[in-house]
Amino acid sequence: MEFNGESSDITHKARSLLEFVRSAMAPYDEELNKYEEKIREVQQRALEQAEMDSLGTSLGEEGASSQGLEQQPIKRKRGRPRKKKVRAANIPVLS
């Protein structure tokens, strides 16, 4: 028995499945092509927008101010606050 060869049972089943799907999807061919074209257009716009965004950030403050955009300083958190050390001299002794 040949594994996935031309005479393989799996190959015959795969071909019949492929033909069934092609015939079932044929009526929707034009509509699906329109959807695919819209997807390509959206992807192209996204690539162009990403390129514009990367150009804007690479210009820095000078380029952003010339476009009327203000650069806001980025606030960064410094992590967990440190615990304050307790000194024994400041603790009142109860008697």
- pLDDT tens-digit map of 28-82: 999 999 999 999 999 999 999 998 888 876 655 454 445 555 667 776 666 676 6
Domain borders along the chain are 29-69
Q: Is the pTM of this model over 0.75?
A: no
Q: Which amino acid belongs to residue 16?
A: S
